Amino acid sequence: MLRKISDFFLGCIRQVDLVLLALCTGATLFGCLMIASATHYTGSYKNVIVQLAALCLGIVAYVLMSMLDLAEVSKRWKWLLGASLVLIFLLKTPLGMDGGTGNRAWLGVSGLPVNLQPVEIVKLIFIALLARQLVYLQENRDLKSIPSIALLGGHLVLIVGAYAAVSGDMGSALVLMFIFACMCFVAGVAKRWFVIGILGGSFAFYVLWEEDKINPYMKDRFLTLFDHDLDPMDIGWQQTRSLLALGGGKLTGQGLFHGTQTQSKSAWSLPARHTDFIFSVIGEELGMLGCLFTIALLAAIILRCVLIARHAQQRIDMYICVGVAAMLIFQVMSNIGMCLFVMPVIGLTLPFISYGGTSIVTLFAAMGMVSGIQKRARPEWLR
């Protein structure tokens, strides 16, 4: 019995990319440390315990996803697409929750401490299905043709449009759009379509802005980027406090568990410090060196995904790696840009670092997708 168990675990280890797993686990453990500091003033370590539990589940998800052949799984695209739409429209049922953000982006039961953000799962399905669609169009049509672009655009509009309309969560909708653009670019979609898409999107945004079809609160979030004094006590409050925290840390920081704003119980201190603005906590307590370490750690994970994409044996595997890397790139840039007051607050957390059980588990599942591709890229005699 012990021999069988040992062989099973050894088999699992052979199926995973240990370098990527180590990077992701290290980033999450560092995130747990910063969450512990960010919530220390509350006297409770509930968030840290939840994050550690999510890490354990995430490692299991990583191993399981490493064993899947995504090229085979994606052949059941109708079921996967249906599952995505079901997850999205469940937000319209009594299970849908706003999570205190104003966006109906969570599923849960009132009174229970656990909830689920379905878009995290939708992102993974979207990446796998888009990769399959790109390969299909390359093999059977022409990616530069109007019908092919219409099919790709239809896929984007269906998922992003449905999610944005149901949840109002524009941050995650933008992540999906960025993933779409990166995967299409790598697949070889003609550059003119990107120019047309950017110009069309910009014009649509201008019309919506001028016709007051954009929520005034969202408009103010954009306007305050160009004028930090526009509304520092309301719309610009979060980012103003974020800049103060980052500046207060200087080069080496004020010390772990010693940040002026991080450890303050005052309502005037840094908000959402264990979620959206955890990068500001790192800057205040560990200084610029801590921020650079965080960026380097996340960049190493992204670079690993890109390197695996370059050595993938199948195009569908390469596109999946690119999609996962694009997801991380956009979320990292958006979150750090938000903390630096150069991008609007759109509710995107820092991957692996910010608090969020659903996010951690699905991030590890996404990395497991990449890990399986890394193993399949090797010749049989090297496995």
pTM for the complete prediction? 0.92
Q: What is the pLDDT of residue 116?
A: 83
Q: What is the percent of the chain where pLDDT is above 70?
A: 92
pLDDT at 191 over 80: yes
User: Residue 1's pLDDT is what?
Assistant: 63
Kindly give, in sequence order, each residue whose CB lies less than 8 Å from that of residue 149, ignoring residues fewer than 6 positions away. Answer: 143, 189, 193
pLDDT value of residue 301: 97
Per domain, the residue ranges of the chain are 11-382
Listed residue (88, 74, 76) closest to 319, CA to CA: 74
Of 14-23, 75-84, 92-101, 238-247, the poorest mean pLDDT is in 92-101
Q: Does the pLDDT at position 319 exceed 90?
A: yes
pLDDT of 371 > 80? The answer is yes
Alpha-carbon span 58 to 68, nearest angstrom: 16
Q: Where are the alpha helices (DSSP H) in 141-258?
A: 146-156, 162-167, 170-187, 191-210, 216-226, 237-249
d(CA 334, CA 341): 10
Look at residue 100 in the predicted model and tell me its pLDDT.
60
Tell me, what's the pLDDT at 65?
Answer: 92
Contacts of 205 (CB under 8 A, 6+ apart): none
What's the pLDDT score for residue 323? 96
* Average pLDDT of every residue of the chain: 88
What number of other Cβ atoms are within 10 A of residue 298's Cβ? 22
Residue type (1 letter), 217: Y
pLDDT cut 90: percent of the chain above it? 52
Tokens of 169: 């969560």
Confidence at residue 382, expressed as pLDDT on a 0 to 100 scale: 46
